Amino acid sequence: MGRDAMALAAHGDADVLVLGGGPAGTWAAIAAARAGARVILADKGYCGTSGATASGGNNLWYVPPDGAAREESIQRFEQVGGMLTDRAWMLRTLELTWAQVAQLDHWGYPFPTDAKGCVRRSSLQGPEYMRLMRRQVRRAGVTILDQSPALELLADADGVVSGARGVHRQREDAGWAVRAGAVVLATGGCAFLSGALGCNPNTGDGHLMAAELGAEMSGMEFSAAYGIAPAFGAQTKGRMYQFARYYHADGTLLDVPDGLSARLAVCRATLDGPVYARLDLAPSLIHEAMRWAQPNFFLPFDKAGVNPFTDLFEIRLVLEGTVRGTGGIALAGDGCETTVPGLYAAGDAATRELVTGSRSGGGSHNGAWAMSSGTLAGQSAALFARRPVGGHSQLRGAGRAGLPGKDAEPAPADPVPPDEVIRNVQAEVLPLARNMFRTASGLRDSVWKLDQVWTDQVPQLGPRPGRQRAREAAAMTAHARWMYAAALGRQESRGIHRRDDCPGTDPTLARRLRVGGLDEVWVAAEAG
């Protein structure tokens, strides 16, 4: 047992509890601690190594404050984001990202220099970045609970979120509980256990916890984000495919545009049979620079003995859902507060519509959003935790779905294995023909099947052991239902939401959609 986990007995109470130890969670924990709060961070894995960022790396939406560059960047993404962004949030994100990158430099992050000796601060290597963030979290005095996934939020009699409880995975599922003045959800998005590198912890757990207390989601229709990976690997770094050309199985060239604009046509082509790629548009003089810039992209090729510049390799499309997509918990103010008092959301757990609109933020905007939203959520949660509270009210666990046998409720007599539920959900969300190329009839069919899973199987999920897995199965089911309900509600194609039966973009639908509910899912256009 690690020193951080042992500290739980002495620090069962906190001012701020952060759930999730990726970039958003670590920035939130540091910001809250700097604001004077006692902070506990609970991570599903090992803080600093688990999650999509730690296993990869990304560019950053990092634009100098001087000159016209920021305004040009904002205007450009307003257009490609389908006019669903918020200018104030975009500016706030750019300002905070600029400041926090300077903080990383101060902490000693090894930013590279180019041939002219200029420091390049616009990209981060995930392992080094998250190793540094864990070190800074500990230096800030934060108690870290590793391998300790949260199962449910705790709320007081007034519905104010006041902590959470979960399990220690390495202690035979021993339970933990933390009473806190405020909670930050930085639990990531949902990739539905698709096998995308680093994304298996991202099963939408935080979204379910929030929804059980009435939180709303936004941008959930913008969830059909798929990454290209070699058939023998899980690495979905897409930038290198700007140098790719694509081929049929017989070696003939696929008739698609060059560069990144080929993605949609390539996805359609895979519906008819295997597609192969080769990075043969990359000039030989930049091959080494490409390897230096993204070494983790090339690792599976090297292990397989494949030279991606000269050899054809089969590709596959891997769902990244709301990890690289846009949807998440709706925010109710500038401090990343949700519609539930005492609950804050950051990073992939929160909607990114405010800065990316209907488009994926890729790595750059998503990385900037994690920094900025994490910082804002931590600061705001620390401020909320200072409010006067009259005594210690009895807290209740808000979780229900996927928590069989909880409290006095009887365990199901004929339990359903969580993996059966997960397979049924994946059958509706992983296939390109279902999720990327959407139609009203296909969506309705999937919604009907997912509703059956929710009503017939989720209540019958088996009890311990396996509480975490059952909770993940319930969260993925809820996530898929919100995605497809919002997709049915947006009767057009916009950004990464494609309706083959509504291929055009309707200017009158340039508004965000809210979605919520568990047993009864609802969709409504955002006011204003």
Q: Is the pLDDT of residue 6 over 70?
A: no
Tokens 């900037």 locate to 368
What pLDDT, on a 0 to 100 scale, did the predictor assign at position 156? Answer: 94
Q: Please state, in angstroms and as integers, the Cα–Cα distance from residue 460 to each residue in 137, 152, 454, 457, following that order.
A: 39, 18, 10, 5
Within a 10 A sphere around the Cβ of 5, how many other Cβ atoms?
20
pLDDT at residue 391, as a whole number: 55
Please report, for the domain that includes residue 304, its CATH number.
Answer: 3.90.700
Return phi, psi of residue 310, to 5°: -125, -20
Q: Average pLDDT for residues 209-216, to the nearest whole number?
A: 98
Beta-carbon contacts of 195 under 8 Å, excluding residues fewer than 6 positions away, are: 234, 318
Number of domains in the chain: 2
Average pLDDT, the chain: 91
Say which CATH number the domain at 460 has: 1.20.58.100
Ordered alpha helix ranges (H), 353-431: 353-356, 364-385, 418-429
DSSP code for 331: P
Residue 68 lies in a domain: no
- C-alpha angle 195/199/203, rounded to 5°? 100
Give the Cα-Cα-Cα angle 420, 421, 425 (nearest 5 degrees): 120
DSSP β-ladder status, 150-155 and 396-397: antiparallel
Which segment of 100-114, 236-250, 340-354, 388-402 scores lowest on mean pLDDT?
A: 388-402
CB-based burial, 107-119: b 16+ in 10 Å, e otherwise: eebebeeeeeeee
R_g (Cα) of the chain, nearest Å: 22
Q: Has residue 353 been placed in a domain? A: no
pLDDT at 410: 66
Domain endpoint, select from 270, 301, 319: 319
Picking from 267, 300, 319, the residue at the C-terminal end of a domain is 319
On the question of pLDDT at 293 being above 80, the answer is no
CA distance 225 to 241: 16
Burial of 47 (C-beta count, 10 Å sphere; 0-12/13-18/19+): buried
Give 258's pLDDT tier (boundaries 50, 70, 90). Answer: confident
Q: Is residue 41 part of a domain?
A: no
CA pair distance 317, 228, nearest whole angstrom:
5
pLDDT digits 0-9 by tens, 451-491: 999 999 999 998 656 789 999 999 999 999 999 999 999 99
Q: How confident is the model at residue 397 (pLDDT cuts 50, 70, 90)?
A: very high
Cis bond upstream, residue 127 (ω within 30):
no
| 379 belongs to a structural domain | no
Q: Show Cβ contacts of residue 36 under 8 Å, excluding neighbours closer than 6 positions.
A: 382
Q: What is the mean pLDDT of residues 91-107?
A: 96
> What confidence tier does 263 reach under pLDDT thresholds 50, 70, 90?
confident
Q: What's the pLDDT score for residue 173?
A: 66
pLDDT value, residue 466: 72
Decide if pLDDT at 444 tops 60: yes
- Indicate whether 394 pLDDT > 90: no
More reliable by pLDDT, 120 or 436? 436
Q: Is residue 339 domain-resident?
A: no
Q: Which helix (H) or strand (E) holds 300?
A: helix 295-304
Lowest mean per-residue pLDDT among 159-168, 233-242, 276-285, 507-516: 233-242
Enclosing H/E stretch for 524: strand 522-525
User: Average pLDDT, stretch 439-461?
Assistant: 97
User: pLDDT (tens digit, 9 = 90+) per residue, 108-160?
Assistant: 999 988 777 788 888 898 999 999 999 999 999 999 999 999 999 999 999 99
Helices (H) and strands (E) in the chain, counts: 16, 18
User: Which H helix or E strand runs over 41?
Assistant: strand 39-42
Mean pLDDT of 496-521: 96
Read off the pTM: 0.94
The model's confidence at residue 404, banded by pLDDT at 50, 70 and 90, is confident
Q: Of the ranges 61-65, 121-125, 424-428, 495-499, which one carries the lowest mean pLDDT score?
A: 121-125
Q: Is the pLDDT of residue 188 over 50?
A: yes
207 occurs within a structural domain: no
**What is the model's pLDDT at position 390?**
60
How confident is the model at residue 392, as a pLDDT?
58
Q: What is the percentage of the chain residues whose pLDDT exceeds 70?
A: 95
Please determine, for residue 1, whether its predicted confidence score (pLDDT) is greater than 70: no
**What pLDDT, on the 0 to 100 scale, is given for residue 51?**
87
pLDDT band at 8 (very low <50, low <70, confident <90, very high): very low
- Residue 510 maps to a domain: yes
Model pLDDT, residue 67? 79
Residue 324 pLDDT exceeds 60: yes
Residue 313: per-residue pLDDT: 96
Q: Which domain holds residue 240?
A: 226-319
Between 370 and 404, the more confident residue is: 370
Domain annotation covers residue 165: no
Which stretches of 336-480 are assigned E, i.e. beta strand? 343-345, 396-397
Domain boundary among 278, 296, 319: 319
Percent of the chain with pLDDT over 90: 77
DSSP state of 318: E
pLDDT at residue 389, as a whole number: 72
* Alpha carbons 343 and 338: distance in angstroms, whole number: 6
